[in-house]
Amino acid sequence: MTSSFVAGANLPWVSYGTDFGTNAWWPQGGLAHRSDLDRVREALAQLAAAGGRLVRWFVFCDGRAGIRFDGDNAPLGLDDRVFPDFERALALVEEAGLEAIFVLLDYTWCRKKTTFNGVQMRGRQEVLRRRHLRERLFEHVFAPLFERFGREPAIRAWDLINEPEWVTFTYGSWRPLRSVGRWELREYLASAARLVHELTSQQVTVGSAAGHWLDLVRDCGLDFYQVHWYDRLDRQCPIDRPVAELGVDRPVWLGEFPTRNSARRTYDLLTLARRRGYAGALYWSLLAPDGSSDNIAASPELMAWHRDSLEPPGEVRG
């Protein structure tokens, strides 16, 4: 198998937004205080046994847990359970013999504000839009995390935000009050990427929603680009398109692709990604209960692809 090509999967979470830090659902903290992690161990071990080498795991998601804010939405710092939860996540990854990409924020960070038991979910777009709030996020949240875990060999990269296009004005959003401007998003990315490089030995990336939107993240100091592909977006950026035609100056990964409700099989998408010049491919997903996830079907496909890729690749099946 081509040694530089990395196959793996998105976890992407045990429960959305509550894996790291104290929260309304798990008041004692996230992963470190949970007793239902056997399914996570099994999923990660299954991924490794099938030939997967890397897992992508979401951290703060929509801001519902792990970060303390004041009344003006300014980040005050991490709560005291984030580090123990992160250590548990790393232990699970290392136990399976995998590496991880940790996704700091999800695009839902900027969606319409909602509350549950007094806890704010979403509605944090001002943190990305305003420079002084971004600086607070960097200083009080990201920097402590990077300083603590920035030399961990099991962490391959930090993903600054998942699919920011959906909340970037004139890209995936046309609601200015619920969006981030292009220059604001790029300033966040460039500044956060510099912080990763200053405080860690790891790489930095962004999970772009589709390949035709790479201009949003180009020249922001990323170490590799990452595009996501689902059948509904194939017209805008076909999966058959070679990476060389994307006009980028860094390696490109296929950071998400469906394992359910797709016209393409996992085996074929992995073969195609490798052939078209991607540096890696991560399927969706191990544990997410959604219409694009089928780990039961994907795992044997990954195992077959890994076995067949030990020899020079043949024709795409199907």
The DSSP annotation for 104-155 comes to --BGGGGS--EEETTEEES--HHHHHSHHHHHHHIIIIIHHHHHHHTT-TTE
Secondary structure class of 243 (helix, strand, coil): helix
Q: Are 243 and 277 in contact (CB under 8 A)?
A: yes
* Reported pTM: 0.95
In one-letter notation, the amino acid at residue 113 is K
Residue 64 — φ and ψ, nearest 5°?
-80, -15
Q: How far apart are CA 104 and CA 141, in angstroms?
A: 10
When the pLDDT of each residue in the chain is averaged and rounded to a whole number, the result is 94
**The residue to which tokens 């995998």 are assigned:** 98
DSSP code, position 298: H
Residue 180 — φ and ψ, nearest 5°?
-110, 140
Burial class of residue 144 in the structure, from the number of CB atoms within 10 Å of its CB (0-12 exposed, 13-18 middle, 19+ buried): middle
Tokens of 244: 């060389």
**The residue to which tokens 């198998």 are assigned:** 1
Q: How far apart are CA 188 and CA 239, in angstroms?
A: 28
Residue positions counted in the chain:
318
Domain locations along the chain: 6-308
**What's the pLDDT score for residue 176?**
85
pLDDT reading at 311 higher than 90: no
The residues that bridge with 258 in the sheet, in sequence order, are 284
In percent, how much of the chain has pLDDT > 90?
89
In tens, the pLDDT along 86-137 reads 999 999 999 999 999 999 999 999 999 999 888 999 999 999 999 999 999 9
Between strands 75-78 and 67-69, the pairing is antiparallel
pLDDT reading at 313 higher than 50: no
Look at 40-54, 170-184, 265-279, 295-309 and tell me which has the smallest mean pLDDT: 170-184
pLDDT reading at 318 higher than 60: no
Q: Which CATH number fits domain 6-308: 1.10.443.10, 1.10.3720.10, 3.20.20.80, 3.50.50.60?
A: 3.20.20.80
